[in-house]
Structure 1
Amino acid sequence: MKICVIGLGQIGGSLASGLRQSGEWVYGISKKKETVDYAIRNNIIDDGATEINLREIDNFDVIFLAVHLGLYEEYIKRLRQFSGILSDVGSVKRTFYTLSKKSGIRFVGCHPIAGTEKSGITSADPNIFKGKYCIISGWSDKSSKEVVEGLWKKIGAETICMSPKYHDKLLCAISHLPHIIAFTLVNSTYGIRKGYKEIFGGSFRDITRVAQSPAQMWVDIFLQNSDYIIKQTEKQLAEMQKILMMIKNKQKNKILKYIMKSKEKI
């Protein structure tokens, strides 16, 4: 098959590289010429450009969007005449599902649960998806789903299916909220810890590692999934208020029970 990946950051670049190594012909698009040149030079893609040529899009069997969520509407409008399968790798699935369904194109929503806090084409890794899950969430037809699902399995990923609505609710709890906690923890503790980085414990490093993630990507995620994020963050604040009151009132047994209860739920 001929595959096009639009957006050559860590995930897009890793997807392109993995598919190319698995035997697919891969075309990459990035607004930065140096990114395209790097990807060709390092055998991440077979060929590429800095812009989509709408007269040639039907040369591809599958196009993957690996751009910020805020750019989805623009790209899906431009690709509405595409006769192949449009897919994506975004962290909010209702956005892709709604826009794609409205456009009338064949589509399969995807979200690979992989990646690190690093970004850019230089962090691309063809093995990053091996043994990891890719969520298949919302599709136009069964045959398109089977094609895209097969590509993910070909590069070593396991697949699991769920609705876009449940995906966004679940990922809010296990990914989006943890990022909010990391960003706020870094900011709230900066004054007291400044200058003592060498003595940070593992707990602080582990919980704040993701605070180094690409900022614009997370702005888009927070805004696109704001309804679930608001509800889950309010729930988190209520839980923090519970244990804060126990500490204020020096309720030793209640604190112990609360911690033990949380250990049982992991």
Structure 2
Amino acid sequence: MSSAALPQRALVVGCGLIGTSIALALTARGCRVHLRDADPSVAEVAASVGAGTVDPVEDPELVVVATPPSVVPDTVLALLAEFPDAVVTDVASVKRPVAAAVAGTPGERRFVGGHPMAGTERSGPTAGSALLFEGRPWAVVASSQSDETAVESVRALVVALDAVPLVMDAEEHDAAVALVSHVPHVISVLTAGLLVGAPRDHLDLAGPGLRDVTRIAGSPTGMWLQILDSNAGPVRELLAALRLDLDRVLDALDDGGEVLAGRLSDVLDAGRAGTRRIPGKHGEERAEGALVLVPVADRPGALSALMADIGESGVNIEDFRINHEYGRPVGLAQIEVAADRADHLTSSLTERGWPAYR
């Protein structure tokens, strides 16, 4: 827990999903939040949902920049000059451009970059939520010149919003998000693009795997153009490595048979190994789990009844998802539990009338 206290007055510049969510969370914790947006009507909407006030602010202790990525560096510089006593942070998903812009300026000591790894498929101030950051990683990106009190102020913000601060420098951050966010988005978009001209009866065969791969492809194009341009170097390096593996797959498919198996085994095994490296619940090492599958009627109260019966079984849920069946008003609940508890949960739910299976 940071020893720094939350500010009494803050300015949030940019009232989209992230900015409004930060403002809502700060307001809920007793901070007086002032809102500003390039479109004043957007700030008015954010104020109308309880995120703060559009009244002018003279001396904020903290300024949060949540503007589109392309204008973050200039906006940060302008705000450092406008409020010479304030700590300034941002939430852009790429950190090197703003770090380079601030380097060597009088305000460098008061700037600490930030990036919450949180969001939804919705956008705009009405999508904001004070709970958006709970349990989510939040990169705190300080430079060697950042004042320690400024770093502690940003850490205090992160902790107060129930997020998890991860301190790193700008170059390390941008390499990390290229790997865990930007390249996966490109792959998702490329896969979804294949669907545009596909026959409808082919799409009728789609299952949860396709939905998993393409879910994030629906994010706004304009924002992603800015992100990929800002982080082009690390993204290109990873995509070039991926292209080599894709060429190996293509060559193996041309050869087929035993040659295919020999060439593709390493690729497939590496993918399996990679999934095991993704942190599990609470950021812990991913534990071996098992799935219990339960068909659930698509009607009010059915899912809550299932959850109540899982609770009665005494088995803890590690992860949960539901996929709706094709052509039937039924969802298939996929309940991940510790491997040694799956049989017990299956039996317990069966005894309570659920058609559970593994």
Shift of 1:197: 5.2
Query: Structure 1 stretches (4+) deviating beyond 3 angstroms?
Result: 193-199
Q: For residue 242 of structure 1, what is the aligned residue in structure 2?
A: 248
2:10 matched residue in structure 1: 3
Q: Deviations over 1:30-72 (max 9, x none)?
A: 2333322222222121x116xxx6xx55x10111110112112
Distance 1:193 1:170, change over 3 A: farther
Q: Give the corresponding residue for 2:72.
A: 72
Question: What secondary structure, in the 3-state scheme, does the structure 2 residue paired with 1:23 have?
Answer: coil
Local SS of the residue matching 1:171:
helix
Separation (CA, whole Å) in 1 of partners of 2:103 and 2:262? 53
Aligned: 1:258 with 2:267 = yes
Give the letter for the 2:35 counterpart: G
Contact 2:65 2:76 in 1 (8 A): no
Q: Aligned partner of 2:142: which letter?
A: G
State whether structure 2 residue 163 is matched by structure 1 residue 157.
yes
For each residue in 1:114-161, what CA deviation from the matched residue of structure 2 results, as whole angstroms up to 9, or x when unmatched?
A: 112221111111101001110111241111000111011011011111
1:95 and 1:237 map into 2 onto residues whose CA distance is 27
Cα-Cα RMSD: 1.9
Amino acid at match of 2:128: A
Structure 2, unmatched stretches of 5+, are: 1-7, 276-358
Q: Which moved more, 1:76-85 or 1:195-204?
A: 195-204
What is the alpha-carbon distance in structure 1 between the residues aligned to residue 163 and residue 124 of structure 2? 21
TM superposition shift of 1:238: 1.1
Larger Rg: 2
Match of 1:176 in 2: 182
Out of 209, 224, 228, the position equivalent to 2:215 is 209
RCO comparison, higher one (Cα < 8 Å, 6+): 1
- Secondary structure at the aligned position of 2:50 is classed as coil
Partner of 2:61: 61
Normalization by structure 1: what TM-score?
0.90
Give the aligned residue type for 1:260: D
User: 1:227 is matched with which residue?
Assistant: 233
Equivalent residue in structure 2 for 1:85, among 87, 93, 113: 87
One-letter identity of the residue aligned with 2:136: K
On the 8 A contact 2:72/2:90 being kept in 1, the answer is: no
Residue by residue over 1:80-115, the C-alpha shift from the partner in whole angstroms, topping out at 9 and shown as x without a partner, is 422211100011011121112243211010010111
Query: Equivalent residue of 2:51, what SS?
Result: coil
Aligned-partner Cα distance in 2 for 1:27–1:13: 11
1:219–1:160: structure 2 CA closer, same or farther, 3 Å change rule? same
CA distance in 2, matches of 1:261, 1:209: 23
Specify the alignment match of 1:111 in structure 2.
Answer: 115
Give the total of aligned pairs.
Answer: 259
**Aligned in 2, Cα 1:103/1:72: closer, same or farther, shift over 3 Å?**
farther
The 3 A distance-change label for structure 1 pair 194 and 76 is: farther
Deviates more, 1:245-254 or 1:127-136: 245-254
Contact 1:65 1:87 in 2 (8 A): yes
For 2:106 and 2:188, locate their aligned partners in 1 and report how far apart those are by CA, in whole Å.
Answer: 39
**CA deviation after TM superposition for structure 1 residue 189, in Å:** 3.1
